[in-house]
Amino acid sequence: MNVRKIIIDTDPGQDDAVAILLALASPEEIEVLGITCVAGNVPLELTVRNARMVCELAGRRDVKVFAGCDRPLDRDLVTAEHVHGKTGLDGPDLPEPTMPLQDMRAVEFIIETLRKEPASSVTLVPIGPLTNIATAFRMAPDIVRKVHEIVLMGGAYFEVGNITPAAEFNIHVDPHAADLVFRAGVPIVVMPLDVTHKALVTRARNDAFRAIGNRVGTAVAEMTDFFERYDREKYGSDGAPLHDPCTVAYLIRPELFSGRHVNVEIETGSELTMGMTVADWWGVTDRAANALFIGNLDADGFFELLTERLARL
Ligand code: RIB
Ligand code: CA
């Protein structure tokens, strides 16, 4: 398998952390060119802290981490401490990071990397609000055609919203950024709540993380123990949904996932449905399909892959 070069754009967040760990544990399939941080689950000063803590947990102080946008394009920032805790990485007791944050800004890194790397050789993996990606596309439209693919976590259709009745958090926080990205013409794979709510860290799966016996397995078990209480209370679900790792798992084993190429447009007009991903699942319009909208996964296969890879760190 060719190694896929990726940029992870993230707002850690416990599930972001697991996605980053899975990517760093899979060098045969994935080369992480850099991690660009964005405000989302918690403010930017915490997402840049958390991203570096996760890299150090993985023993990867060499990874380049960049600070990005600290607020959405045209709206006030909405955060999710009620889900992720006040630090955004509540659960494990991890040391403060000592690895450096890069001087270059995240948007500049995205632009420079896409200009420098061969066309269609870089995949963008946004797992937070799309502010950095949209800003880079706005500042440097020439890079849009250089992107191989965008594999993002965000949106919802049959599963409806998690931050409002209509919208999923990542898209709701910056709907204008999402609208720009979904209209950009880059091939997009969407991991919406429709599939991520089927990736639940049941007690047995959490026990399997602990049974790995390394500090990564223990930390991930502690993260998901903390992270799950919100979804248990709200949905009565049988564990925390591992939203963001679905993107990285797709890069490694796409056969674990299934979906449909459909048109997806973003609500940016009505406050009632702001940030809703309107997926034309039944093809009732003549709007061109612009996204592979994933609806299902082999959950056991997903957790087997994740547990096996975390054991490598
Ligand atoms: O709605 C789930 C998404 O919002 C995940 O990316 C989670 O980390 C939060 O950012
Ligand atoms: Ca996230």
Direct distance between the N- and C-terminal alpha carbons of the chain, in angstroms, rounded to an integer:
21
Atom 2 of ligand 1, residue of closest alpha carbon: 169
Q: List helix spans (H) across the chain.
A: 14-24, 44-57, 81-84, 106-116, 131-139, 169-173, 175-182, 193-196, 203-211, 215-235, 245-252, 299-310
* Domain span including residue 291: 4-310
Alpha-carbon distance of 24 to 151, in angstroms, equals 17
Give 191's strand partners.
153
Distance 285 CA to ligand 2 centre (A): 31
Task: Locate the ligand 1 atom nearest the alpha carbon of residue 244 and give its number.
Answer: 6
Closest to 69 measured CA to CA, from 149, 136, 161: 136
Task: Locate the ligand 1 atom nearest the alpha carbon of residue 168 and give its number.
Answer: 1
pTM of the model: 0.97
pLDDT digits (tens, 9 = 90+) for 222-263: 999 998 887 787 778 788 999 999 999 999 999 999 999 999
Distance 170 CA to ligand 1 centre (A): 6
pLDDT classification of 82: cutoffs 50, 70, 90: confident
% of the chain at pLDDT higher than 90: 94
Token pair for 242 = 């591992």
Atom 10 of ligand 1, residue of closest alpha carbon: 128
Per-residue pLDDT at 297 exceeds 90:
yes
Ligand with an atom nearest the CA of residue 153? 1
Closest to 268 measured CA to CA, from 106, 74, 42: 74
The residues carrying an active-site annotation are 243
Q: What is the mean pLDDT of the chain?
A: 97
With a Cβ cut-off of 6 Å, ligand 1 is lined by 11, 13, 15-16, 40-41, 127-128, 153, 162, 168-170, 243-244
Ligand with an atom nearest the CA of residue 192? 1
- Res 228: pLDDT: 83
Task: Locate the ligand 1 atom nearest the alpha carbon of residue 129 and give its number.
Answer: 10
Ligand with an atom nearest the CA of residue 81? 1
The CATH number of whichever domain residue 290 belongs to comes to 3.90.245.10
Per-residue pLDDT at 1 exceeds 70:
no
- Who's near 142: CB < 8 A, 6+ residues apart? 115
Q: How many domains does the chain have?
A: 1
